[in-house]
Amino acid sequence: MARPTSSVPLRRRPTGSAAARRPATARRPATAAAAAVLAVAGLVLAGLSDPAPAAAASPRTAGSDPALLRAMSRDLHLSTAQARTRLANEAEAAATTAALRTALGDSFAGARVSGRTAGRLTVATTRADQAARITEAGATARVVDRDLGDLDRVHKALDRAAARSAPHGVPVWYVDIARNDVVVEAHSTAAAYALLKRAGVGRDAVTVRRTTAEPRPLADLRGGDAYYMNGSGRCSIGFSVTRGGQGGFVTAGHCGTPGTTTSGYDQRAQGTFQGSTFPGRDHAWVATNSNWTPRPLVNGYGRGDVTVAGSTEAPVGSSVCRSGSTTGWHCGTIQQRNTSVTYPQGTVSGVVRTNVCAEPGDSGGSFISGNQAQGMTSGGSGNCTSGGTTFFYPVNPALQAYGLTLVTSGDGGPQEPPDEGTWAVGTRYQVGDRVTYNGAAYRCIQAHTAQPGWNPQDAPSLWSRV
């Protein structure tokens, strides 16, 4: 494990660990997807690009990536076909959520997917007259008492109190979309109430849950690859980025401070931390030397690499997979966004809670949903033998903080072939429908509305060649 930025030392993972070694060969990036211009249920996502300077996201699923499918099958107990279906459903749910978030305005109260293959999208609103709009977009409407802004205000009050003095015995608090509530997890009710009092938050504004968890940072140019700080501790690369003409990667802030030097998985000189924040946030970026070329890939650890196509935020309930230099590939689901967690070094806010396992040395590594970058491993509790909880810091705020651009499959890679044939963007396809595309015939295996990048050649979760 790495020595964190606070005065509390953590045991270092031995640098000779076999898990930290890089698998032999990275395959070439997959065919680039077209620009993501989404239209969902009549709601056109014009002007809804993420404020972070990330590359445009593509909804194309990563159903052809064997590492992702195998890890999802293992950890989510799905067949390969179910994993592909889930990825397609989650991609469409993310697009629908983005459109409805704008359409509903202040009445939007969150969204989540549910079901074994994420076949149901539930969108909450505080206005009953908006339920029809949600239903027309293909989602299930839920009318609740508190909008997302109200929940966020309570959450931020707790964050401010924790920033003044780290709460003892209160490791986690978060906005729970499913409960329309703010949940505080504490070792005792007394510890929780002490935090509420300092924050000026009434007891009726939150739900207190008992926990024995004691999260800690998991510290010990392809996402998930190992790197070493000042020749000692080990962490994992999050995602490849650029700023101007400078290449590098994002990772966890607790792995190093500005000026910390890094070496790669093979111990060759690699780069230097340019910016880092921890605690409060947990993000950093490293500028690398010319010997390291940023690639839009996440390490599959012997199962093939996953190509990064963008950074569209996945809804609560979506599947998510993690790559790290200690434990490799593991998958689970997103449990809550807008979460705060207290480590021995202080509180980190804005992380995402998951049921994916992780261990020391995985810190900074990639969290990806389908082919969309989600964030960098921060910390957690438990391990990959007994299971556990892991938090990741979202990638888009990190990109915005440092003025970075995510390296994706569209950056200098092969371009999508011309769409010749009967397949067409905007067409609603049902299971069994047949189309032609670039001289080949395909049969629809998952009902959907065709979007840019979802062509039959690049979306095996939606189309089967005949």
Contact between 263 and 231 (Cβ < 8 Å): yes
Q: Which residue has the tokens 């005792």?
A: 188
Contact between 353 and 336 (Cβ < 8 Å): yes
Look at the chain and count its residues: 466
Strands 261-263 and 269-277 turn out to be antiparallel
For residue 155, give the DSSP letter: H
- Helix (H) / strand (E) element for 82: namely helix 80-104
Rg value, the chain, Cα:
22
349 given a catalytic annotation: no
Q: Of 147, 181, 220, 254, which residue is the catalytic one? A: 254
Q: Of 318, 340, 363, 378, which residue is the catalytic one? A: 363
Strands 120-125 and 140-143 turn out to be parallel
**Residue 77, token pair as written in the block:** 């107990």
**Residue 299, token pair as written in the block:** 């390490």
Q: Of 65, 75, 176, 282, which residue is the catalytic one? A: 282
Angstrom distances, CA of residue 296 to CA of 37, 263, 313: 21, 20, 17
What SS3 class is residue 93?
helix
- Helix (H) / strand (E) element for 398: namely helix 395-402
Burial (Cβ within 10 Å: 0-12, 13-18, ≥19) of residue 244: exposed
Q: Is 403 left (phi over 0), alpha (psi -120 to 50) or beta?
A: left
| Dist CA 366 CA 393 (whole Å) | 10
458 given a catalytic annotation: no
- The residues, ordered by sequence, that sit 6+ positions from 234 with a Cβ below 8 Å of its Cβ are 1, 2, 12, 13, 15, 17, 20, 219, 220, 226, 227, 228, 325, 361
Q: How far is CA 231 from the centre of its chain?
A: 29
- The residues, ordered by sequence, that sit 6+ positions from 355 with a Cβ below 8 Å of its Cβ are 332, 333, 335, 387, 388, 389, 390
- The residues, ordered by sequence, that sit 6+ positions from 107 with a Cβ below 8 Å of its Cβ are 125, 126, 127, 130, 147
381 given a catalytic annotation: no
Residues serving a catalytic function are 254, 282, 363
